[in-house]
Structure 1
Amino acid sequence: MRPGVLATSIVMLLGVGLAILRGGALITGQQSEATMADQPPVAASPKTDRPLPPRSPAPEQDKPEPTPDVTQLERIAPREPLGDLGSAAPPRPKNGGTILYQPLSPAAGKIEAMGYSIVLAGIEQPDPEESCDFEGKAWPCGARARSAFRAFLRGRAVNCEIAPEAQKTASITTSCRLGKQDVAEWLVENGWARAAPGGPYARLAEDARAQGRGLYGPPPAAAAPPVALPIPSITPAGPPEPFQ
């Protein structure tokens, strides 16, 4: 191909391309104008002459507050309460007695707990080695009374009347309670201690003697001897039968 013809062809192609681009831009502009012409006109918002709110004056910055004059203050006494509801109640009186935890009983009517040695007042404590006679038969009533007293306490705390100046080195004769039960009263009522002459438990001691309770009753029944049970016979098993 000749160089002149090739150059002419390139120039023609460029001209055709420019003509196409110009025609497309012209068509797009006409469509945009037509679209804008079809839309209704937008009404302008009316202007209102509303007054602007007044502006508050700017606070003054870094202005120190005046210091109050404390020399002019006067201290006055507080006012009286309006009624008894606002005043504190008087303290309640404390209940008397000292709580003794985990008490032990070396004998019926004696308690040892927390370093104290207590002897119950108003009763005569039986010695653990004492023996009682019932219908000509002696039995260890002192040891039995101690066992009954231990079963009654069962290590539960007792409340005893102990003076503040009482010393732990000496035995203290006083009254004790287990819950609401007078401990000495329980011993005399069940016959495991004798009432002191002229004491408050004389009538209970007479009733226990009349009913034959505790020290005034029969000895506890001896445990029955064990019964020999027959030995079951064991028969040896025979040979197994043949499988059929």
Structure 2
Amino acid sequence: MHPKVKSLLSGMLYFLLAMILTLGLFWGIWVFFVDPETSSGAQVAQSGLAGTSSVQVSNTGQAPVQADLPKDGHIENKIETKSNSGKETQISIEEAEIKLQGPQAGTNVLPPSRNVTPGFEASPLTQIQSLKRDSGNPLPPPPKRAKLPPFFRKVVVVSSTELKADLRSSQVILRLANIDGPPQDQTCVMFGQKANCNKLAKTALQRFLRGRGISCDISEEQQQAYQGGQRSTDRLSGRCMIGRMTKTAQARNVVLPDLGEWMVRYGWALPHDGHYQAALEEAKTQTRGLHGGIGGVSRSEQRRLSNQTRSALDQLANDAIQSSGSEPANFDLIAPEPETVNDGNSEPVSDIAN
């Protein structure tokens, strides 16, 4: 072996031995001079070997407790106590270490037994039997959402209050609920022409619908009768709206445009059973549709209304041209422009007046 390696190993060995001796020295000092348990044990052992000595137990409210140890080193379980009156009694060490609180403070009693069962929690009350959890009232059932109204994709206008739609490979007639169309023989004046009010109302509904799908609130009785084949006719009645109602829209209380309300608001239908009263008052105030030039009004009044209509349209057109600067912009009329109706009975108001 190389001399340098040999000297290095020898130095490391001496260093380890020095560390072991140093640790042993510190441990001995700790055991004999610092550790209280070892020190008290050594004192008791020395007292037993030297002869009889006394151990005092201090108790608040009582005289010091003194116990004599025999010379042979045997410790008796009995100790003597001295009260304030000077009377001496013998009690066990366990009794002397118990101190009560409250009115019986200072009384020596035996220590109570303690339950050491794992998971047991000490309590001043004794549990006779296991607790039973009360089930309580059952939870209420979740609220039932209303069924979504059926959606009709292809709809054809039959009259001012009736629509034809496809339902399960067959066609049905949908009747708009809560409204009545104008009478068949009622005439209206619009743009200087007399025409049948029912046909004008049908044209207005066609222009408003524009081929869009609708959702209709049809009663369960009608749907069950239709699905079961117990129907005597293919006519269903309900409130119809433009567009499809979804679960999200239903949860957010989205309101779709109501066809019946629109017809009443623009004067092309009359409500019944107290429905759509606000829309009816608006139509009367604005003299829309049936509430404008109705048959039975004097010819001079019809002529005045037609002239007002022409003046209003001319003013709207001029305003649109001036605002755009070149071509007239699109603008909405109070009531939709009807199709030209010529059933042989329609003629200009000026001809009737003459």
TM-score range, shorter chain: 0.3 to 0.5
> TM-score normalized by structure 1?
0.46
Which of the pair is proportionally richer in helix? 2
Larger radius of gyration: 1
- Structure scoring higher RCO (CA < 8 A, sep ≥ 6) equals 1
TM-score, normalised to structure 2, is 0.33
